[in-house]
């Protein structure tokens, strides 16, 4: 009995020692560590909160994607009506192909993108994101390279028809003017225009090596295609 | 709880405060050391770039941007294939880094690139029998191409932190020395004012262990959150670079934290032995 | 008349972009925001407008969201705050703002961006702003040149001429402004 009691009390002592050791080696340092976080956080909070806030502004939910591929949301439309409801229009985001652009017999046949960055201009022609899409009733400003998809603009004449196909409708514009102007000439476009007008442009002169300051502008008026209705409530 | 406060004496409170101060000093000393061996070390950035995909991705990006420029300039897509010389890119980036650490004005010498481009374009014009060439347009093209190259070589944001880094390595070293002296002073106070040496060891390993845990949880938290890869940076090469730098700094912190934890384990073992001797 | 450069406009765009859910059309709430965006800031006697390009991008984007009146009131409040802040600085253009003023705008914008789950893409050159959603969809990828050369910044004198300036991005719901380095356009009356 005495031996068992001594054995039990020794085991108890060893257990007590172990937990005391654990407390000293682990628990107290963890507590001190937490206090340290609290201390440093409190001391640096006035400017760290701004830094964290600004830092997290540059974070996204996934790993960054550097692919130069693009998404195609274009499916041919059979809409023959005069209007299309705004609810039925899938508004494209930047670098998405949402249609095609063609000028018959002029060598212009390209994919139509929203946005006019390098992805768009490498693969087709692009609508400037600060302008609007066909059917919106405002300015459509489209750019393309003069040695690729818009090389055919050098052949266009007044009266030529520009066909733009989108998933929500098919549009036709008649070319009514062309103009050569400097790239920084703001009179070449009006982004505030309240009626639908098409402006296509490319570098000028054509087939010339090097970068030029001039652009070749082609203007068109809408002749057919569904107007997007229900935009403004 | 009553027993806790009954046993609490001013001496114990002071020792606890000293332990806390020692832990804070170890943490700051560790951060200062990591900063000293990374950002203030001239070869750190070069080694980091060499061990990452930076140069490979940078060459691809320069080629892509030049190809886009070529599209706008009437050149074939194939003109810039194989044009960008990785050896030249490495040399120019290395020169840029050296200028950064030496406090020189940060600029990129594009003369080799310009010469290669002009020679390549002359060959292209000849082989394609291009007769009409406007010198102004070509010069404008060269200027843009040169700018693309130099902008790519320049490491983003480095110029804006040059003043922060230059001439600061000395003060950082002094700060490390001062912190080590403070830690040493605290250790001396703990040992020589404590009649029981094992208790002094206890305070010391608590401070070292706390600092080790602090330094371990920070980088582990960052690694496990996966936030590093989620930084939105404009180009893959820049992303490679910044991720490599962050990984390197965090790895150094983990190494230091493991060293501190190992030291605290050793101190704990010594504490056990000294305590046994004291109780005999 | 002076025009505020791309950043400010982009800011307003960003706010718009944050909303999830699709509902084409511009409702009354969204129209109120567009009208507010068209109101100029009076910076030291100079009227500063948001360029049409950015208001158009805002409008295009409003077609993909469904803004409530409450949200519009919040956004309008933030736009007005941003305008009042700029007017209160006493500067004639944004590039003259002090570092702490720019910092204030940046911290505002960042908090708003975080609430709205937007990401600004770091590392762009000073003539470009790129903003994406947290899942990577590009909302704004804007350079200063409306009429492009190559798709990235060129040596052409930008349409929005001037030296680099910081522009606040005013975002919805958190009422904060992001600051970005951009160019300021001045057109003399």
| Residues 6+ away with beta carbon under 8 Å from B41 | none
Task: Specify the DSSP element, H or E, that contains C109.
Answer: helix C99-115
CA distance C178 to C108: 6
The answer, for C73 touching chain A at a CB cutoff of 8 Å, is no
Asked if the Cβ–Cβ distance from B213 to A33 is below 8 Å, we say: yes
Residue of C nearest to B234 (CA): C123
What is the average per-residue pLDDT within C122-127? Answer: 62
pLDDT digits (tens, 9 = 90+) for C79-111: 787 788 888 888 877 677 787 777 676 666 665
The answer, for B213 touching chain A at a CB cutoff of 8 Å, is yes
Asked if the Cβ–Cβ distance from A210 to B74 is below 8 Å, we say: yes
pLDDT of residue B106: 87
Half-sphere exposure of B35 (CA within 13 A, CB side): 16
The single-letter DSSP state of residue B233 is B
pLDDT digits (tens, 9 = 90+) for B135-187: 888 998 999 999 999 999 998 777 778 877 777 888 899 999 999 999 999 99
The answer, for A232 touching chain B at a CB cutoff of 8 Å, is no
From chain A residues 184-203, the ones with a CB under 8 A of any chain B CB are 203
Asked if the Cβ–Cβ distance from B238 to C123 is below 8 Å, we say: yes
Residue B95 sits at the vertex; the CA angle it makes with B91 and B97, to the nearest 5 degrees, is 115
Comparing CB atoms, the residue among C122, C125, C155 nearest residue B233 is: C122
Asked if the Cβ–Cβ distance from B24 to A203 is below 8 Å, we say: no
Task: Specify the DSSP element, H or E, that contains C186.
Answer: strand C185-186
| Residues of chain C in Cβ contact (below 8 Å) with chain B | 119-125, 130, 132, 149-152, 154-155
3-class secondary structure, C4: coil
Residue of C nearest to B72 (CA): C150
Comparing CB atoms, the residue among C123, C149, C152 nearest residue B233 is: C123
Place of tokens 């009146």: C69
pLDDT of residue A19: 75
What residues of B are in contact with residue C149 (Cβ under 8 Å)?
A: 72, 144
Determine the longest span between alpha carbons in chain B, in angstroms.
103
| Residues 6+ away with beta carbon under 8 Å from C174 | C78, C111, C112, C114, C115, C116
Instruction: Count CB-CB contacts under 10 A for residue B168.
Output: 14
The answer, for B231 touching chain C at a CB cutoff of 8 Å, is yes
What is chain C's alpha carbon radius of gyration, rounded to the nearest angstrom? 15
Lowest-confidence range among A135-144, B80-89, C6-15, C63-72?
Answer: C6-15
> β-strands C41-43, C46-49: how paired?
antiparallel
Q: Chains with ≥3 Cβ pairs under 8 A against A? A: B, C
The partner residues of A177 in beta bridges, in order of sequence, read A219
* Residue C6 contacts residue A191 (beta carbons within 8 Å): no
Asked if the Cβ–Cβ distance from B20 to A35 is below 8 Å, we say: yes
CA distance A125 to B113: 31
Comparing CB atoms, the residue among C61, C119, C142 nearest residue A57 is: C119
CA distance A96 to A73: 7
Task: Tell me the domain boundaries of chain B.
Answer: 2-40+169-279, 45-163
Closest CA of chain A from C90, distance in Å: 25
pLDDT digits (tens, 9 = 90+) for C44-82: 888 878 888 878 887 877 777 777 888 888 778 877 877
The answer, for C137 touching chain A at a CB cutoff of 8 Å, is yes
What is the average per-residue pLDDT within C9-29? Answer: 57
pLDDT of residue B275: 81
From chain B residues 106-125, the ones with a CB under 8 A of any chain A CB are 121, 125
Q: How far apart are the first and last CA of chain A?
A: 93
Tokens describing residue A121: 């201009």
Asked if the Cβ–Cβ distance from A36 to B27 is below 8 Å, we say: yes
CA-nearest of C47, C46, C41, C45 to C11 is C41
pLDDT digits (tens, 9 = 90+) for A77-88: 988 789 999 888
Task: Tell me the domain boundaries of chain A.
Answer: 1-59, 71-229
What is the average per-residue pLDDT within B107-131? Answer: 91
CATH, domain range A71-229: 2.40.260.10
User: In whole angstroms, what separates CA A21 from the centre of its chain?
Assistant: 59
What residues of B are in contact with residue C150 (Cβ under 8 Å)?
A: 68-69, 71-72, 144
Residue of A nearest to C115 (CA): A57
pLDDT of residue C4: 45
* Residue B58 contacts residue B149 (beta carbons within 8 Å): no
* Residue C104 contacts residue A47 (beta carbons within 8 Å): no
Interface mutation target, options C117, C148, C150, chain B, most CBs of B under 10 Å: C150
Ranked by mean pLDDT, the top range of B131-135, B210-214, C182-186 is: B210-214
Asked if the Cβ–Cβ distance from B72 to C149 is below 8 Å, we say: yes
| Residues 6+ away with beta carbon under 8 Å from B195 | none
What residues of A are in contact with residue B7 (Cβ under 8 Å)?
A: none
Residue B257 sits at the vertex; the CA angle it makes with A16 and B167, to the nearest 5 degrees, is 150
Residue of B nearest to A62 (CA): B230
The answer, for B36 touching chain C at a CB cutoff of 8 Å, is no
CA distance C95 to C77: 24
pLDDT of residue A94: 86
Asked if the Cβ–Cβ distance from C56 to A138 is below 8 Å, we say: yes
What interface predicted TM-score (ipTM) does this complex get? 0.80
| Residues 6+ away with beta carbon under 8 Å from C134 | A59, A60, A61, C117, C118, C119
* Residue C173 contacts residue C74 (beta carbons within 8 Å): yes
Query: C131-137 — which CB contacts under 8 Å span 24+ positions?
Result: C131/C10, C131/C13, C131/C14, C131/C17, C131/C169, C132/A60, C132/B232, C133/A60, C133/C17, C133/C18, C134/A59, C134/A60, C134/A61, C135/A60, C135/A61, C135/A62, C136/A60, C136/A62, C136/A64, C136/A65, C137/A93
Question: pLDDT higher for C91 or B115?
Answer: B115
Asked if the Cβ–Cβ distance from A210 to B19 is below 8 Å, we say: no
b or e along B255-267 (b: 16 or more beta carbons within 10 Å of the residue's beta carbon)?
ebbeebbebbeeb
Asked if the Cβ–Cβ distance from C132 to B232 is below 8 Å, we say: yes
Looking at the predicted structure, is the pLDDT value of residue C6 above 50? no
The answer, for C152 touching chain A at a CB cutoff of 8 Å, is yes
b or e along C38-61 (b: 16 or more beta carbons within 10 Å of the residue's beta carbon)?
eeebebeebebbbbbbbbbbbbbb
Low-confidence ranges of chain A (pLDDT < 50): none
What residues of C are in contact with residue B232 (Cβ under 8 Å)?
A: 119-122, 132
Q: Is the dihedral of CA A136, A139, A144, A146 positive or negative?
A: positive
Mean per-residue pLDDT of chain A: 88
Tokens describing residue C138: 């590009």
Place of tokens 């040399």: B91
Comparing CB atoms, the residue among A60, A94, A133 nearest residue C134 is: A60
Closest CA of chain C from A31, distance in Å: 32
* Residue A204 contacts residue A146 (beta carbons within 8 Å): yes
Residue of B nearest to C122 (CA): B233
Residue A228 sits at the vertex; the CA angle it makes with A224 and A233, to the nearest 5 degrees, is 150
Looking at the predicted structure, is the pLDDT value of residue C166 above 80? no
Asked if the Cβ–Cβ distance from B73 to A24 is below 8 Å, we say: no
Closest CA of chain B from A178, distance in Å: 20
pLDDT digits (tens, 9 = 90+) for B47-69: 999 988 899 999 999 999 999 89
What is the average per-residue pLDDT within C7-24? Answer: 48
b or e along C164-173 (b: 16 or more beta carbons within 10 Å of the residue's beta carbon)?
bbbbbbbbbb
Closest CA of chain B from C55, distance in Å: 25
Interface mutation target, options A18, A27, A33, A95, chain B, most CBs of B under 10 Å: A33
Question: pLDDT higher for C110 or B124?
Answer: B124
The partner residues of A197 in beta bridges, in order of sequence, read A139, A221
CA-nearest of B158, B187, B252, B170 to B15 is B187
pLDDT digits (tens, 9 = 90+) for B234-271: 788 988 888 899 999 999 999 999 999 999 999 988 88
Query: A184-187 — which CB contacts under 8 Å span 24+ positions?
Result: A184/A213, A184/C147, A184/C156, A184/C157, A184/C158, A184/C159, A186/C159
Categorize the per-residue pLDDT at C157 as very low, low, confident or very high, splitting at 50, 70 and 90: very low
What is the average per-residue pLDDT within B75-82? Answer: 89
Asked if the Cβ–Cβ distance from B202 to A118 is below 8 Å, we say: no
Task: Specify the DSSP element, H or E, that contains A114.
Answer: strand A108-114
CA A24 vs CA A28, B13, B27: distances in Å: 6, 16, 20
CA distance A217 to A220: 10
Tokens describing residue B253: 């912190």
Tokens describing residue B210: 């706390």
CA distance A16 to B157: 57
Closest CA of chain A from C45, distance in Å: 25
Categorize the per-residue pLDDT at C155 as very low, low, confident or very high, splitting at 50, 70 and 90: very low
Closest CA of chain A from B170, distance in Å: 24
Q: Chains with ≥3 Cβ pairs under 8 A against C? A: A, B
Closest CA of chain B from A214, distance in Å: 10
What residues of B are in contact with residue A121 (Cβ under 8 Å)?
A: 68, 71-72
Q: Is the dihedral of CA C59, C61, C64, C65 positive or negative?
A: negative
């Amino acid at each position: 009995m005495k031996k068992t009691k001594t054995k039990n009390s020794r085991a108890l002592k060893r257990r007590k020692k172990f937990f005391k050791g654990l407390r000293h080696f682990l628990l107290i340092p963890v507590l001190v560590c937490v206090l340290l976080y609290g201390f440093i956080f409190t001391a640096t909070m006035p400017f760290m909160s701004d830094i964290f806030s600004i830092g997290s502004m540059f974070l996204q939910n996934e790993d960054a994607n550097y692919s130069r591929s693009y998404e195609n949301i274009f499916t041919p439309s059979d809409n023959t009506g005069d209007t299309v409801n705004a609810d039925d229009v899938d508004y494209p985001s930047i670098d998405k192909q949402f249609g095609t652009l063609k000028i018959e017999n002029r060598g212009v046949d390209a994919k139509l993108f929203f946005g006019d960055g390098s992805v768009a201009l490498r693969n087709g022609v692009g609508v400037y994101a600060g302008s609007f899409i066909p059917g919106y009733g405002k300015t459509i400003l489209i750019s393309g390279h003069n040695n690729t998809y818009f090389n055919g603009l050098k052949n266009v004449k007044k009266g030529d028809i520009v066909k733009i196909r989108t998933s929500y409708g098919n549009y036709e514009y008649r070319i009514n003017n062309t103009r050569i102007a400097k790239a920084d000439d703001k009179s070449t476009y009006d982004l505030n225009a309240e009626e639908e007008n098409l402006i296509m442009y490319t570098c000028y002169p054509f087939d010339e090596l090097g970068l030029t300051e001039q652009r070749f502008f082609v203007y068109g008026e809408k002749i057919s295609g569904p107007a997007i209705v229900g935009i403004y409530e | 709880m009553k027993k806790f406060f009954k046993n609490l004496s001013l001496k114990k409170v002071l020792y606890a405060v000293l332990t806390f101060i020692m832990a804070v000093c170890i943490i700051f000393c560790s951060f200062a050391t990591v900063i000293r061996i990374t950002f203030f070390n001239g070869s750190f950035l070069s080694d980091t770039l060499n061990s990452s995909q930076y140069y490979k991705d940078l060459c691809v990006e320069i080629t892509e941007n030049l190809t886009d420029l070529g599209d706008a300039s009437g050149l074939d897509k194939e003109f810039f294939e194989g044009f960008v010389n990785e050896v030249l890119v490495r040399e120019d980036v290395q020169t840029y880094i050296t200028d950064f650490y030496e406090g020189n004005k940060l600029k990129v010498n594009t003369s080799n690139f310009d010469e290669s481009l002009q020679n390549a374009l002359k060959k292209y014009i000849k082989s394609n029998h291009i007769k009409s060439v406007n010198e102004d347009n070509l010069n404008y093209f060269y200027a843009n191409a040169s700018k693309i190259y130099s902008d790519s070589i320049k490491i983003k944001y480095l110029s804006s932190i040059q003043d922060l880094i230059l001439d600061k390595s000395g003060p950082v070293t002094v700060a490390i020395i001062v912190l080590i002296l403070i830690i040493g002073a605290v250790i001396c106070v703990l040992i020589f004012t404590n009649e029981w040496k094992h208790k002094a060891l206890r305070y010391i390993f608590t401070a070292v262990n706390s600092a080790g845990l602090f330094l371990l949880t920070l980088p582990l938290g960052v690694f496990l959150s996966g936030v590093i890869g989620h930084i939105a940076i404009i180009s893959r090469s820049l992303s490679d670079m910044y991720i490599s730098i962050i990984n390197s700094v965090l790895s150094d912190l983990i190494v230091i934290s493991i060293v501190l934890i190992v030291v605290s384990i050793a101190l704990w073992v010594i504490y056990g032995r000294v305590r046994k001797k004291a109780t005999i | 008349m002076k025009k505020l450069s791309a950043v400010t406009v982009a800011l307003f765009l960003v706010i718009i972009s944050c909303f999830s859910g699709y509902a084409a059309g511009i409702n009354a709430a969204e129209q109120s925001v567009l009208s507010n965006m068209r109101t100029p800031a009076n910076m030291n006697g100079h009227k500063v407008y948001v360029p049409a390009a950015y208001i158009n991008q805002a409008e295009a984007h409003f077609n993909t969201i469904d803004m409530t009146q409450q949200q519009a009131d919040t956004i309008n409040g933030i736009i007005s705050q941003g305008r009042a802040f700029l007017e209160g600085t006493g500067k004639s253009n944004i590039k003259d703002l002090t570092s702490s003023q720019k910092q204030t705008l940046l911290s505002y914008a960042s908090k708003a961006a975080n609430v709205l789950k937007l990401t600004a893409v770091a590392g762009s050159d000073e003539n470009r702003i790129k903003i994406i959603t947290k899942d990577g969809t590009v909302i704004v990828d804007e350079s200063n040149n409306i009429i492009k050369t190559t798709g990235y910044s060129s040596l052409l004198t930008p349409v929005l001429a001037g030296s680099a300036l910081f522009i606040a991005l005013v975002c919805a719901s958190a009422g904060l402004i992001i600051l970005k380095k951009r160019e300021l356009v001045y057109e003399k009356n």
